[in-house]
Structure 1
Amino acid sequence: MKNKIYKNLFVAIATMITIVSCDTDYEDQTPSIAGIAVANPNFSTLEAAAVQGGVVGVLSNSNPNDPAGAYTVFAPTNDAFAKLGLVNGGSLGVLQNDFLTSTLLYHVSNGNLFANQIAEGNTSTSALGVDRRFIARGNDLYINGSKIILTNVSASNGTVHAIDKVMIATGVNIVESALLLNDAKVFKTPELTFLVQAVVTSGLAPVLANPANNFTVFAPTDAAFKAAGFNTVEDVANADPTFLQEVLLNHAIGDGGTFTSEQTSTTATTAGGNTLTYSSFQNGVFTILGNNNTVPANMVIPDIQCSNGVVHVIDRVLLP
């Protein structure tokens, strides 16, 4: 089914480009990057995001910072946005515009980056100045945790590659990233309020904010904390700091920060010395089981790049 979807996506874009290339003035008729999003229904949510985020003008014109006037865009499909619950343009209202603009620019880089330049171990600097890395997993190539499903779609002002997940980068450390959610600077409805309080009460904030410490962190949502018996934020604030520290350290892996695409082991040792068990890698995610969990945690938002690691938002507290 997925191969059929990707094939249809390719055919639709190729057909559109073929039609405009029949004109004798090919250079003038080739659609811009923004034009490709407008013309192809598989990118309708991206089109709406570009409008709301104010980047349509940027992606419609030549890049003033590149001699060839080119951008490269890793373009999330509608299905990629849907994985975040953003099923159409109207769903984008749950995002703060500044965050949406930054997220879109994180998918953009200067110059043409073609498929033959995308290889395991290479990196690409985004328009935000944050590097993204390329990862090979089997026969698939990923940019961070997003699979590249279509390459080298030519535009009048650059190159488009389609990806299957929206990439997210906060530009700040793990603690500040959680605060962005808590203070409604990303999603208009915060989801990590309990986690922020747990970090503060446990005394682990300096550790998780230290740029010398690079972690993979599994971040439980508010609903996850409630399911674990913390009914209110005050319950977390009044909990034993030593206990909270033990619980939180069970959510951190001192591995430098890994994206889902880089995770190949079935287990990991936590910063607290316990073991987490991972399911097999499926459709870009995996589940995580703590030693005293009977039901594994699912990923709600995977692969959030922070300045000192990677955060995956999950739907259960991982019990040590």
Structure 2
Amino acid sequence: MNTQYKTYNFIFFFILTTVILSCETESAYEDVPPTIANIAVSNPAFSTLEEAAITGGVAVTLSNPNPNDSSGDYTVFAPTNDAFARLGLDENTLGVLQKDFLTNTLLYHVSNGNLAGNTISEGDMSISALGVTRRFVNRDNELFINGSKILATDVDAINGTVHVIDKVMIATGGNVVESALALNDAAVFVNPELSFLVEAVVYTGLVDALSNPDANFTVFAPTDQAFIDLGTALGLTFTEPANIRQLSQELVTAVLLNHVFADVSADKFTSELSAGSFETLGEDTITLGMYTNGLLSVSGSGNMSPANMVIPDVQTTNGIVHVIDQVLLPNM
């Protein structure tokens, strides 16, 4: 009996020890932070970002330590599904973007090292993995990176930190004209969006002026549909960009200059814009509406209704471009 009792005691002790060690091991595993890529995979609010990371070829990178920083960390500003939806994108429609552009856009949201939320201040700069510098803005006691509001900070990952933002950040790597050409040549979207604008810039001889590397333009860029609608309003049929040449060069020049702020020393993200009237490089003004949900309406003196921002806060090497859905007309 005594031997049997000792045997039962040993078996019970063995089972108990195994369970305790198993629980401790499981608990320790659960306490280990996920990788940055795992955060996107595990949170349904980042399903579009997850698909973008896979399609853009950066998912594996963000699953591992950063080889380009001694800390092994990345800092990622992560757009939510709602942020992608602002551009009409979700995990099923990312195919409208060229892969190279998608990859570069994702890298624009990444930086080396671990940037804690409590170390970010108004006016600070941060260099992205793309090599383009982003800036932090404080608006109404809320912090923005470029034109994107930081919704949450310091989501810990084993290979860095994630900060959540409400808009996708875009940088083209080219100047204002080169950026429009990239859109025109389907280097960004599979279907070009600014073909008429490019034609108008070439027609009016403004290429060199808008390529000035020493300027910091704030430009409002009408989509193709905006120019097509303008043609209709004028009783013309714009079926291709060259149709813009039905209008006089003088008129098209006046219209284009009405889309650029007169102060070319300070480019402005939406987070830095306020309602009011602003002088343009032309001889008129444009008016911005109230700042609402990260956007502002914009209208020219000759518009019956304001234009909406379609793609705000596109960073170029010599300014910020806000793509809009209507041509801004001066008083004519």
Normalising by the residue count of structure 1, what TM-score does the alignment of the two structures yield?
0.91
Indicate the residue corresponding to 2:27 in structure 1.
Answer: 23
Report the residue type matching 1:215 in the other structure.
Answer: F
Superposed displacement of residue 292, structure 1: 0.6
In structure 2, stretches of 5+ residues that fail to align are: 1-24
Indicate the residue corresponding to 1:307 in structure 2.
Answer: 317
**Contact kept in structure 2, 1:203 and 1:241, CA below 8 Å:** no
Report the secondary structure of 1:304's partner residue. strand
CA–CA distance in structure 1, aligned partners of residues 321 and 172 of structure 2: 10
Indicate the residue corresponding to 1:151 in structure 2.
Answer: 153
**Contact kept in structure 2, 1:216 and 1:311, CA below 8 Å:** yes
Indicate the residue corresponding to 2:45 in structure 1.
Answer: 42
Superposed displacement of residue 22, structure 1: 7.3
> Is structure 2 residue 78 aligned with structure 1 residue 70?
no
Select the residue among 57, 64, 72 that pairs with 2:60: 57
Indicate the residue corresponding to 1:258 in structure 2.
Answer: 268
Report the secondary structure of 1:23's partner residue. helix
Select the residue among 234, 257, 263 that pairs with 2:242: 234
Indicate the residue corresponding to 1:208 in structure 2.
Answer: 210
Misfit runs of 4+, over 3 Å: none
**Contact kept in structure 1, 2:275 and 2:289, CA below 8 Å:** no
CA–CA distance in structure 2, aligned partners of residues 55 and 227 of structure 1: 39
Superposed displacement of residue 68, structure 1: 1.1
Superposed displacement of residue 273, structure 1: 3.0
- Over the matched positions of the two proteins, sequence identity in percent amounts to 59
**Contact kept in structure 1, 2:311 and 2:324, CA below 8 Å:** yes
List aligned pairs for 1:164-179, cutoff 5 A.
164-179=166-181
List aligned pairs for 1:281-300, cutoff 5 A.
281-300=291-310
Select the residue among 65, 88, 102 that pairs with 1:100: 102
Deviations 1:198-221 (A, max 9, x none): 000011110001101221000000
Report the residue type matching 1:239 in the other structure.
Answer: L
Indicate the residue corresponding to 2:10 in structure 1.
Answer: none
CA–CA distance in structure 2, aligned partners of residues 265 and 309 of structure 1: 20
Deviations 1:6-59 (A, max 9, x none): xxxxxxxxxxxxxxx9722567x3100000000000000000000000001110
Number of corresponding residues: 299
Instruction: Answer with 1 or 2: which has the greater Rg.
Output: 2
**Contact kept in structure 2, 1:141 and 1:147, CA below 8 Å:** yes
CA–CA distance in structure 2, aligned partners of residues 118 and 267 of structure 1: 31
Normalising by the residue count of structure 2, what TM-score does the alignment of the two structures yield?
0.87
> Is structure 2 residue 279 aligned with structure 1 residue 275?
no
Select the residue among 227, 244, 257 that pairs with 1:249: 257
Indicate the residue corresponding to 1:10 in structure 2.
Answer: none
Deviations 1:72-116 (A, max 9, x none): 000000000000000x21110100000000000000000000111
Report the secondary structure of 1:252's partner residue. coil
**Contact kept in structure 1, 2:269 and 2:320, CA below 8 Å:** yes
Superposed displacement of residue 316, structure 1: 0.4
CA–CA distance in structure 1, aligned partners of residues 145 and 277 of structure 2: 23
